[in-house]
Structure 1
Amino acid sequence: MKHDFSTARTLVDVRGLEIGFADANDGQPLVRGVDLTIRAGECVALVGESGSGKSLTARSLIGLAGHGARIAARQFVIDGRHALQFRERDWRGVRGGFAGLVMQDALVSLDPLRTVGAEIEETLALHSPSGSRKARRARVHETMRDVGMPEPERRAQQYAHELSGGLRQRALIASAIVAGPALVIADEPTTALDMTVQAQILDVLAARLREGVGMLLVSHDLAVVAEVADRVLVMHRGEVVESGATHDVLRNPAHAYTRRLIAAQPSAHSRGQRLTSARFDAGAHSAPQGRADAASLIVRDPLPPRQSTARETLLQVEALGKRYGRRGARYATAGSAADAGDFVALDDVSFDVQRGEVVGIVGESGSGKSTCAKLVLGLATPSAGQVRFLGAHWNGEGAREPARRALRPKLQYIPQDPLSSFDPRYCVRQLLEEALSTAGLGAQQVRDRTVELLEQVGLDARYLERRPLSLSGGQRQRVAIARALAPQPALIVCDEPVSALDVYVQAQVLDLLGTLQAELGLSLLFISHDLDVIRHVSDRVLVFKDGRVVEAGDAQRLFVAPRHAYTRLLMSSAPSLRRAKEEGSAGRAREVEPLAG
């Protein structure tokens, strides 16, 4: 069902927008020729890879393009006013009053020194100063309730670090909408959130649309865009290369770049294939009559065939448990009765990983995925159970770090955010040399090996002296993979390694991992909240909930016929590009079963 907004109030009307900085891009504009109109009740999405100009365009609408930004346009009308000549005082009236901004990382965006309630109330104090403090607080609690925050009176007294990721993001949305803005700008509001929380946030945003609020959604996730957006603008290198109704653009993309973005998405049919090799071939398939669309025309090259390996168990996890004592309660130890106040992070978890196998772990935030990874890596001590690695007692009662030190090089880790795991003082050469320190190589051998590792991950010797801050997100992730490969491990734990990457860089990293896994016979324990990614990479899947494995089995079987109600909930909660295209409209009415917290 398509919505008609032609008679609705025009909130933003921009024509020929150009944005540049004197010291960037040789003085040439970073954003060129962008036309953007947003009306009340309409959701317009900006999509494209990192660096395409999405966020810069969105932030220019509220005067936050950045210091030294040079903005020009044939027309730049915000809330019915020509805004090119706005001073900072004018923009302060726009921000919060006319337009609210929801950013990606709520933990960074919220003030750590103020309670959530005080943060939300500040917007009201600035834009509705005539009301009493009691009235403002009542409005804060009402807005928190509207965005799905349970016990708003209690939550308002908490700090950002005391809330879950989903509650923090809701608090950020509450801060953006509490003053009743006509426009909400949501800049990657669901990136790195698990699928159930993501669904809840999308429902909160969709509710604002139904109330007549206009929205500009910035996202690299096409499935999220398909769920809520009425129109989409595809940006590439600062220009809009394609625009139109979301259903039309995603079902039948006209521009080669849009097609590349869609084809790079992992899907039910992409397993064993290179995502970045995807191309469109009109004669590749004969789709059912009237059903031909972009997905039916995608063809891809296969990944290299996997090495044939004898069945060998590399990792055994047996009845693993982890409890944390809450403040005022004693910590439970292995074999002891836990206090009723203890928090159970992991409970009776058992699984194994075979040589050359990819085992995926999926579940919402707080389900125990990362705790399990820490125990497998030997970075925390379990309260119960044990871990065996390469036949040796690795973790559990009696395990000690000196005894497992010799095996450490065989078990490596790829983090979600490599930048925070790198020493910022180190260049790439030093990061790799450190990872090779246990290999017993001479100086020239180390040098040769660092270059070989970079080439293995698609980089070269030119990057050896670069520091992490000078690298793009995709380049940093490649260096993290090279560092993990350096000691020639048998098993790599991948903890959300692509969750913060845009769709095409994600495809490049997944192709790289798939190629290396096949050629080197690596085993991977792959943790992700993205079901499409898990389905693309995994041989077997473990579904975690509340610290337990509620379902496990072959990846293809589990996705086709999930047996547990929670697995089915996860699948129904996940944004689906395929489902949205079949429905032919943004899925605003989709309801997801609420989850506590």
Structure 2
Amino acid sequence: MSEILTSSATPASAHLTGRTLVDVRGLSIGFADVNGGGPLVRGVDLTIHAGECVALVGESGSGKSLTARSLIGLAGTHARIDAQRFEIDGRAALEFRERDWRAVRGGFAGLVMQDALVSLDPLRTVGREIGETLARHAKGQSRAQRAAAVHAVMRDVGIPEPERRAAQYAHELSGGLRQRALIASAIAASPALVIADEPTTALDVTVQAQVLAVLEARLRAGVGVLLISHDLGVVAGIADRVIVMHRGDVVDSGATRDVLEHPSHPYTRQLLAAQPDAHSRGYRLSSARFVEEDGSAVVREPLPARERAVGSVVLRAQGIGKRYAGGKVAPAHDANAFVALDDVSFEVREGEVLGIVGESGSGKSTSANIVLGLLAPTSGSVEFLGQRWNGAGVSETQRSQRRPLLRYIPQDPLSAFDPRHNVGRLLADGLHAQRLERRTVLKRSVTLLEQVGLDASYLNRLPVSLSGGQRQRIAIARAIASEPALIVCDEPVSALDVYVQAQVLDLLGELQARLGTALLFISHDLDVVQHVSDRVLVLKDGRAVESGATAEVFSAPQADYTKLLLRSAPTLQTQRRAA
């Protein structure tokens, strides 16, 4: 298959004769009050050996995390677990009591979850969080020895200045540093098994590469890894075997190369075909399918044609910068200040998509906040629709009339939405500036839902009751409610599984073709940026290092940092190029 790319690395598990960490046969998991009491996970077989990485892939709700959590006794208080065999480190785990599971967690198996900000205790320093694992499972150490061990494991996962970082709280760290701190906590007691549940989701490619390097080092040391990920590039680069789950069932499994090159189930084929790449631009990802005659080509339906970006400039940022000193905004001339953004310029034209990429701390979010008028630049200015929008002397009062023409799609709608407001209220807020009658607001809200593939039945639902893909569709509906000239998209698909991501990207493409809205698209996923963007801007340490047409930047990057980004991205394409 010309567009299906896999790793060429020799599996670490080849000819495995070592310790069996997990041996499960016929696993079923259910809850009495869910799914009519029927199982949510059915008939799963799972074996993990020392030094082997097994990946669970599939859509949100397929049972991946529930299966993984059952291995450490965290499936849920009322979970009903049945299996023909359920052995953890050679012991019959169905007979475990809670004290047995406590010994497993942290000592035998470490868990790395997706959302480090939620997972790390906000009331404890990172050092104390990691140190607790050592106190529980590596007893007999003095306080000084434990502190040294904490700093050592933080250094192992790529956290700079571990002595200083250990004294900080989770909210004081960047997303990448938080995720690495979470991994450090999971591996501090040298467990035999690491369960990594979407450990690289929402991380930029260089930090992602560092996190994967940590997991690969564990594998080389003989540790087993159970990886849960919707990123098939990550899976292709590190996993020895893959198990594909769909609605609670295993539909495909085997060696990574076999599953990704020769998928046996239509669902696996659909997942692989829905991946964005250099050839998918202008096509619907969710329509992708393999041609059955030769099994080698991916066929996609075209998106509605949109006009080339030859219109007037919608947004112009000129020399914008942002500096801080001692936690406060610093003047431009302060040489000792921390530079979050330095002399960055770019523009977006009507109907155009400008992608912004760069690692954590590169200035992507700072740029977005300045463009949105949520943060005043220390230097430079922003023009929106030909008028000053941000910079010296521009107030929110002056922006208020044009505010509905600039909208925002966040990475995590659940945290951005008021949890007390139902969908109808959220959409009404997006229509507020138009001062419509209540009956018209309701009619427009239904129309907006239909435009994003939903219907009126969602109006009374709360955000917490929606899936990740549904919440992102609501965020898009609210963003387009006022028919804006520009939408700032900040990692809008980073937390979505492959097929839901494809649906959301298709939706953005369709709406943009119809409405002619310009997009400022921020993403760490280079395949996604390549799929959606007309031009791309690359940021590093607050400075622009390269910009240009997307195809040119990706095919012939000029800056060393851009080359590093492209090399670091664990996409299916790069895995094939490495073969």
TM class by smaller structure: over 0.9
Partner of 2:433: 438
CA contact (8 A) 2:329 2:378 kept: no
Partner of 2:182: 172
CA contact (8 A) 2:281 2:530 kept: yes
Query: For residues 393 and 148 of structure 1, do their structure 2 counterparts lie closer, same or farther at Cα, with a shift above 3 Å needed?
Result: closer
Kindly state the Cα deviation for residue 167 of structure 1 after the two structures are TM-superposed: 2.3
Query: TM-score, normalised to structure 1's length?
Result: 0.93
Partner of 1:299: 299
**Match among 364, 376, 383 for residue 381 of structure 1:** 376
Structure 2, unaligned runs of 5 or more? 1-9
Q: Is 1:521 aligned to 2:516, yes or no?
A: yes
Q: Is 1:550 aligned to 2:548, yes or no?
A: no
Partner of 1:19: 29
Kindly state the Cα deviation for residue 583 of structure 1 after the two structures are TM-superposed: 4.7
- For residue 205 of structure 1, what is the amino acid of its counterpart? L
Q: Is 1:356 aligned to 2:351, yes or no?
A: yes
**Match among 279, 286, 289 for residue 269 of structure 1:** 279
Q: How does 1:408-557 map to 2 (within 5 A)?
A: 408-557=403-552
Q: C-alpha separation between the residues in 2 aligned to 1:582 and 1:562?
A: 16
Percent identity between the aligned chains? 69
Q: Which sits farther off after the overlay, 120-129 or 416-425? A: 120-129
Q: How does 1:184-263 map to 2 (within 5 A)?
A: 184-263=194-273
Q: How does 1:34-113 map to 2 (within 5 A)?
A: 34-113=44-123
**Match among 268, 280, 288 for residue 278 of structure 1:** 288
Query: For residues 516 and 228 of structure 1, do their structure 2 counterparts lie closer, same or farther at Cα, with a shift above 3 Å needed?
Result: same
Query: For residues 82 and 306 of structure 1, do their structure 2 counterparts lie closer, same or farther at Cα, with a shift above 3 Å needed?
Result: same
CA contact (8 A) 1:5 1:40 kept: no
- For residue 491 of structure 2, what is the amino acid of its counterpart? E
**Match among 182, 191, 198 for residue 181 of structure 1:** 191
Partner of 2:333: 337
Equivalent position SS for 1:17: strand
Q: C-alpha separation between the residues in 1 aligned to 2:308 and 2:219?
A: 53
Equivalent position SS for 1:317: strand
Q: Is 1:148 aligned to 2:146, yes or no?
A: no
Equivalent position SS for 1:374: helix
Q: C-alpha separation between the residues in 1 aligned to 2:308 and 2:140?
A: 73
Kindly state the Cα deviation for residue 152 of structure 1 after the two structures are TM-superposed: 2.7
Kindly state the Cα deviation for residue 174 of structure 1 after the two structures are TM-superposed: 1.7
Structure 1, unaligned runs of 5 or more? 285-293, 585-597
Q: C-alpha separation between the residues in 2 aligned to 1:387 and 1:120?
A: 43
CA contact (8 A) 1:251 1:581 kept: no
- For residue 573 of structure 1, what is the amino acid of its counterpart? S
Query: For residues 48 and 309 of structure 1, do their structure 2 counterparts lie closer, same or farther at Cα, with a shift above 3 Å needed?
Result: closer
Kindly state the Cα deviation for residue 423 of structure 1 after the two structures are TM-superposed: 1.3
Kindly state the Cα deviation for residue 417 of structure 1 after the two structures are TM-superposed: 0.9
Kindly state the Cα deviation for residue 300 of structure 1 after the two structures are TM-superposed: 0.3
Q: Is 1:2 aligned to 2:11, yes or no?
A: yes
Equivalent position SS for 1:104: coil
Kindly state the Cα deviation for residue 6 of structure 1 after the two structures are TM-superposed: 2.9
In the TM superposition, what whole-angstrom CA distance separates every residue of 1:29-83 from its partner, at most 9, and x where no partner exists? Answer: 0000000000000000000010000000000000000110000000001011001
CA contact (8 A) 1:411 1:492 kept: yes
- For residue 13 of structure 1, what is the amino acid of its counterpart? D
**Match among 19, 29, 33 for residue 39 of structure 2:** 29
CA contact (8 A) 2:57 2:229 kept: yes
In the TM superposition, what whole-angstrom CA distance separates every residue of 1:108-165 from its partner, at most 9, and x where no partner exists? Answer: 2111222222211211221232333333333323322222233333332222223232
Q: C-alpha separation between the residues in 2 aligned to 1:72 and 1:209?
A: 30
Kindly state the Cα deviation for residue 309 of structure 1 after the two structures are TM-superposed: 7.1
- For residue 531 of structure 1, what is the amino acid of its counterpart? L
Kindly state the Cα deviation for residue 582 of structure 1 after the two structures are TM-superposed: 5.4
Q: Which runs of 4 or more aligned residues in structure 1 lie more than 6 Å from their structure 2 counterparts after TM superposition?
A: none
Kindly state the Cα deviation for residue 310 of structure 1 after the two structures are TM-superposed: 5.4
Q: C-alpha separation between the residues in 1 aligned to 2:94 and 2:338?
A: 54
Equivalent position SS for 1:234: strand
Q: C-alpha separation between the residues in 2 aligned to 1:45 and 1:462?
A: 36
Query: For residues 519 and 331 of structure 1, do their structure 2 counterparts lie closer, same or farther at Cα, with a shift above 3 Å needed?
Result: closer
Query: TM-score, normalised to structure 2's length?
Result: 0.96
Query: For residues 212 and 255 of structure 1, do their structure 2 counterparts lie closer, same or farther at Cα, with a shift above 3 Å needed?
Result: same
CA contact (8 A) 1:5 1:39 kept: no
CA contact (8 A) 2:242 2:259 kept: yes
Equivalent position SS for 1:171: helix
Q: C-alpha separation between the residues in 1 aligned to 2:236 and 2:308?
A: 40
Partner of 1:316: 316
Equivalent position SS for 1:425: coil
- For residue 422 of structure 1, what is the amino acid of its counterpart? F
- For residue 346 of structure 1, what is the amino acid of its counterpart? L
Query: For residues 447 and 164 of structure 1, do their structure 2 counterparts lie closer, same or farther at Cα, with a shift above 3 Å needed?
Result: closer
CA contact (8 A) 1:5 1:42 kept: no
Kindly state the Cα deviation for residue 283 of structure 1 after the two structures are TM-superposed: 4.0
CA contact (8 A) 1:247 1:581 kept: no
Q: C-alpha separation between the residues in 2 aligned to 1:344 and 1:135?
A: 36
Q: C-alpha separation between the residues in 2 aligned to 1:564 and 1:265?
A: 27
Query: For residues 255 and 312 of structure 1, do their structure 2 counterparts lie closer, same or farther at Cα, with a shift above 3 Å needed?
Result: same
Kindly state the Cα deviation for residue 566 of structure 1 after the two structures are TM-superposed: 0.5
Equivalent position SS for 2:56: strand
Q: C-alpha separation between the residues in 2 aligned to 1:229 and 1:455?
A: 40
Kindly state the Cα deviation for residue 176 of structure 1 after the two structures are TM-superposed: 1.3
In the TM superposition, what whole-angstrom CA distance separates every residue of 1:315-372 from its partner, at most 9, and x where no partner exists? Answer: 1111111122324xx7434xx522x332211111111111111111111111111111
Partner of 1:117: 127
Query: For residues 502 and 113 of structure 1, do their structure 2 counterparts lie closer, same or farther at Cα, with a shift above 3 Å needed?
Result: same
Query: For residues 210 and 267 of structure 1, do their structure 2 counterparts lie closer, same or farther at Cα, with a shift above 3 Å needed?
Result: same
Q: Which sits farther off after the overlay, 97-106 or 203-212? A: 97-106
**RMSD between superposed Cα atoms in Å:** 1.5
